[in-house]
Structure 1
Amino acid sequence: MAGSHGPPGEESARERPRKAVERSALFRTRAGLLAGGLAGSGLRRRLDGHDRSEEAGMRSRFPRWLAGTAVERYVLDFEARIEKAVSEFAGGLPTGGLVLDAGAGEGRHRTHFPRQRYVAVDLAVGDAEWDYGRLDAVADLRALPFRDAVFDACLNIVTLEHIPDPAAALAEIARTLKPGGKLLLAAPQEWEIHQAPHDYYRFTRHALAALLQQAGFAAFRIEAAGGFFRLLARRCLNSLQFFPAPLWPLAAAVFVPLGLALPALDFLDRERNFTLGYLCFAEKQP
C-alpha cells in the first residue's frame, strides 16, 4: 500500500496475503489502480480538478516575502481552518477505522491519520508537477471502485467545485460509507477561477445542504470559514498581483496594511453571507 516503507521487494511474506485480503474486500472492480502499481512508477499529479492544488494556487498569488510566516497563516484563514478541521476529524475517529480521502491529490492529509487506515483516491490526470505515488486508487469520484458501505469516514476537501456533477460524486461517497459514517467536506463560495478550465461551481450553504441531504446525509453542520472582512482582506492581498514592479511598493503600502487589519473587524459580519467557503460535517443516514 502507499503507506508501506522500503522497496517493494522487501514486503514481508506475511504482509502480502493480508494486503491482498484487504484489497479484495475493498474494491468491487479492477477499475482502480492500486498503490502498489503507482509507487515509483513516475506517475505525476496532473490537473483535472480532483485535487486540492487550490491552496498552492492561492499561495502562489500571495506576496512571496510573507510566505511561510505567521502573517500568511493569519490571512490564509480558510486553509488554516481546513487543516485544523482535518486534524480534529481524525482525532475523533476510532483506531483502525477505514478513511477515504476522495480527491486526495498527493495525499497530503495522510499524516493526520496514523491510527486509521487511510485510502487516497484521485482521477490523476492533468498537471505533470504533482506526484501520484501515494495514491491507493485512481478513479473518477462519480464512479468509485469501492464496495458499498466499507468506509467509516471520508474527506472531500476543496474538490467538489471541480466535478462536473457534484451530486453524483456525493452520492458515490455516501454509497461507500457505512451507515452513520462521517464526512468532512470543504467547498468554496467566493474563490476566483482556478485550475481552469476544470472549475465549474461555487456553493452557498443552501446548495451544500441540499446536496448533502439529496445524497443521504443527515445531522450535518455547515460552518462559514470567515466573513466579509476576512474575504476583503484576502482580496486586498490578492490585488498585488495586478501591479507592475515599479508600482508594487506603493500598492503594498496601501493594500498590505488593509489586508492585515481587516480580519480584526470580521466579528461585525454576523450573517456570514460573504465568505471564502464552508466546512461541512455530516453523517450518512443509518
Structure 2
Amino acid sequence: MRYSALAESLPRPLRRHVLHFESIIEDAVIRFAGGLPSGAWVLDAGAGECRYAHFFGEQRYCAVDLAVGDRAWDYSGLDALADVTVLPFRSNSFAGCLNIVTLEHVAEPGCALAEMSRALSPGGALLLVVPHEWEVHQAPHDYFRYTRHGLEYLLERAGFHEFEIQPVGGYFRLLARRLLNGLQFFSGGWRWIGFLPAAILLVPPALVLPFLDFLDRDRNFTLGYVCTAKKQS
C-alpha cells in the first residue's frame, strides 16, 4: 500500500509516528547532506523521482537511475539513465553517495556497491538504506532483503569501512506497520464496505504499539537499516 497521500495529509508529529521508516530516512538524508562540504559532488545512485534532491541545495547533486522500477514515476529529473552496477562516471568523482531503498532491486548488489565505491573519492561518504522485512514491491525487480551481517559483508568487500548500521525500529514498530498494511485489502470495488470496520480494528493498535518498541532491545525484528560508511583512503 502506498502512503504518500496519507503522509501529505497528516500533521507532522502524527506523520512521523505512523510513517516512522520514511521519517528516519529523511532525517538521515538531512544529516548526510549537512556533513558534506558546500559545492561537493554527490551521487544519488537509484534516485527514482529525485525526492531527496532538495536536501542538497549546497552541493552538486547528480541523480542516476535505470528507470524501470515504477512505470507511474516521473524520471525526468534524472541526470543520467544508467545501471548502478555500471556507473557512467570516472573513478573518484564524488564526495558522497546515497542509495536509498534501492539495493534490494539490484540483482548484483555487490557489484553496485563496488561501483559506488569506485565513483567515490578516497574517504568519500556513503548513505545506504535497505529493507529487512518489507513486502514485495516494484516486481519483478525485487530481489533481496538484508541483515546487518550481510550489509557488513557487502560493504567490506566493496572497499568501505567505518560502518554504522542502525535498525529502523523493532518488533512493535514492525507490527504496527504491518497492521496498517492490512488496510490495502479493503480498497477497490465492494471491498470498500469493509474498510471502516478494518480501520477501526487495525488503526488503534497500530498507533499504540510503537510505544512498546523499547522492549525490543535486540532489534532483530526491524523494517530496515540505515547505514553510513566511508570509502577506504
Tell me the TM-score normalized by structure 2.
0.93
What's 1:253 paired with?
200
Q: Which amino acid aligns with 1:270?
A: R
Q: The residue matched to 1:197 in structure 2 has which SS?
A: coil
Which of 55, 59, 82 is equivalent to 1:112? 55
Q: Residue 102 of structure 2: which of 159, 162, 165 is its match?
A: 159
Q: What amino acid does structure 2 have at the position aligned with 1:89?
A: F
Residues 217, 282 of structure 1: 8 Å contact kept: yes
Shift of residue 110, structure 1, vs aligned partner: 1.1
Partner of 2:45: 102
Structure 1, unaligned runs of 5 or more:
1-56
Aligned partner letter, 1:283: K
Matched pairs, number: 227
* Alpha-carbon distance in structure 2 between the residues aligned to 1:126 and 1:270: 34
Query: Which residue is equivalent to 1:173?
Result: 116
What does residue range 161-240 of structure 1 map to in structure 2 within 5 Å? 161-240=104-183
Q: CA 1:65–1:178 in structure 2 vs 1: closer, same or farther (change >3 Å)?
A: closer
* Other-structure match for 1:84: 27
Query: Using a 3 Å threshold, how does the CA distance of structure 1 residues 126 and 65 change in structure 2: closer, same or farther?
Result: closer
2:216 is matched with: 269
Residues 66 and 247 (structure 1), Cα distance of their counterparts in 2 relative to 1, 3 Å cut? farther
**Partners of 1:249 and 1:127 in 2: how far apart?**
29
Question: 2:2 maps to what in 1?
Answer: 58
Q: In structure 2, do the counterparts of structure 1 residues 257 and 187 end up closer, same or farther at CA, with 3 Å as the change threshold? A: same
Which residue identity lines up with residue 263 of structure 1 in the other structure?
A: P
The residue type paired with residue 9 of structure 2 is G
| 1:136-159 CA distance string (max 9 Å, x none) | 111100000100111100000000
Shift in CA distance, 276/123, structure 1 to aligned 2, threshold 3 Å: same
Structure 2 residue runs without a partner (length 5+): none
Confirm or deny that 1:143 pairs with 2:81.
Answer: no
Question: How far 1:250 moved relative to its partner?
Answer: 2.0
**Quick one: distance in 2 between partners of 1:223 and 1:136?**
30
Could you tell me how far apart the structure 1 residues matched to 2:92 and 2:177 are? 40
Aligned 8 A contact 1:223 1:280 in 2: yes
Distance 1:65 1:80, change over 3 A: closer
Q: Which amino acid aligns with 1:278?
A: Y
> Given the two structures, how large is their TM-score scaled by the length of structure 1?
0.76
**Residue type of the partner of 2:53?**
R
Cα gap change, 1:219 to 1:77, in 2 (>3 Å): same
The 2-side partners of 1:266 and 1:204 are apart by 19
Partner letter of residue 225 of structure 1?
V
Q: Could you tell me which amino acid in structure 2 is paired with residue 251 of structure 1?
A: A
Residues in 1 aligned to 2:69 and 2:230: alpha-carbon distance in whole angstroms: 32
Alpha-carbon distance, 1:125 to partner: 3.2
Distance in structure 2 (CA, Å) of the matches to 1:233 and 1:87? 25
Q: Secondary structure of 1:231's match? A: helix
SS at match of 2:194: helix
Which structure would you say has the larger Rg?
Answer: 1
- Please report the RMSD computed on the Cα atoms of aligned residues, expressed in angstroms: 1.5
